[in-house]
Chains A and B, each alone.
Chain A
Amino acid sequence: MNTFKFSGDSRSGVWLNDIKGVFVVNPGTEVDDIKSVSGWQAVTMPATAADIAGTYISFERGVEIQTDEAEMTTGNTGYTEKTKDFAPRLNGYAKMSYQDYMAWFAADQREFDFYFHLKDNKIIHAPRTTDGKYKGFCGRMFLNFNLPVPGGEGKQQAHSFNIMLDSAEQFKNYEVVSPDFGLCEINDFCPIGFDLKVTTEWAFTVTPGTLTVKATYRGTGEPVTELAVGDFEVVSAESDASITIASIDDTNAALGSYELSITEELTGNFELRAVVIDTKVTKLSNVITVKV
């Protein structure tokens, strides 16, 4: 409801600060608390990998607002008025490694809810639900697929996230909140990312079939040495039969190399990732496709 009433003057011209980053969550996710580290960790670093519902993307490399101007129509009687509002759009240039950006490729064209985090640490969000839970603005996200740019501004804009919100109406009632955590505590919300890579392809001549993967931290390339068999998770499979990693041989774990065994003969490709949980999800890998 938007009843207009005269509402006074603050005697100040302060603007909202620039966008620093965005919290991206699964569509429709209601967050209990966006003002505390623990409130966000319940979404971004929960106790089980299946409950991960979002993360934070830093847009320190810049943001371009691309919202279309409202449509003003002049009829043939000469009367001009606004006939359409457009939902906000922006291009955010993420401060992340190319490996992080590649892990986002599968998110291209997907729908998410967005909370915008500003440089003075405020958070802008959609109107709360009737029971006080927080909601993000619903919208879509697009990524770019391009060769490495040689230098200059184009290079800084290489990891771009084109965010288009769905509804100008939802934005008309946006709310601003000041969280309890500091600007530099944002890093506490994101699990550390590492890369999994198949180094020896799946082979099943005698049971068990095996494949070897390498786990290295993104950005530094250092090996991830502490993975256990329970940390590996089959995310999806082409076949209908369930796939279980039977055992891992971590003789070469010091190099980040793990040999995985599966006792069943497989009939289709599957996708694999690894998650390290220490009361909450602390390290997350990308999702890799294992060709069978």
Chain B
Amino acid sequence: MKFGSIDFNEKKKWTFDEIKNLVEVRYKGKVKASPEKVAKALGVPVPEKKPKKDE
């Protein structure tokens, strides 16, 4: 599945961290979509964001 110039393999068993690393570090600026959007398209569950604790 293609985002920008990066074609992600739909057959691979992705983890969200792998997707996040590729989108934000390795292929920064090339994917043109958020890690969450890519993960959702590949059928990978997105971990919930921990809410900030109010002191």
Contacts and interface: CB of A to CB of B under 8 A. Distances in A.
Interface string A235-269: 00000000011111111000000000101000000
A248 B5 CA distance: 8
Contact of A208 (B10, B11, B22, B30): B22
Interface residues on A, range: 10 to 19
B5 A228 contact: no
A247 B6 contact: yes
Nearest to B1: A229
Interface majority SS (helix, strand, loop, mixed), chain A:
loop
Contact of A249 (B5, B9, B12, B18): B5
B26 A229 contact: no
Given A208-B26, A261-B26, A228 B7 contact: yes
Nearest to B5: A251
A249 B21 contact: no
Interface in B3-38: 5-14, 18, 21-22, 26-27, 30
A129 B51 CA distance: 71
A229 B12 CA distance: 11
A219 interface: no
Contacts of A28: none
A247 B22 contact: yes
Given A251-B30, A261-B26, A245 B21 contact: no
A230 B8 CA distance: 9
Contacts of A228: 2, 7
A207 interface: yes
Interface in A211-232: 228-230
B7 A248 contact: yes
Contacts of B22: 208, 246-247, 261
Nearest to A245: B9
Contacts of B8: 229, 246-247
Given A249-B27, A261-B26, A207 B9 contact: no
A251 B9 CA distance: 16
24 contacts: A207-B21, A208-B21, A229-B8, A230-B11, A244-B9, A244-B13, A246-B8, A246-B14, A246-B22, A247-B6, A247-B8, A247-B9, A247-B22, A248-B7, A249-B5, A249-B6, A249-B30, A250-B5, A250-B6, A251-B5, A251-B30, A261-B22, A261-B26, A263-B18
Interface of A: 207-208, 228-230, 244-251, 261, 263
Given A207-B21, A244-B11, 20 more contacts: A208-B26, A229-B9, A230-B9, A230-B10, A244-B9, A244-B12, A245-B12, A246-B14, A246-B18, A246-B22, A247-B7, A247-B9, A247-B22, A247-B27, A248-B6, A248-B7, A249-B6, A249-B27, A250-B5, A263-B12
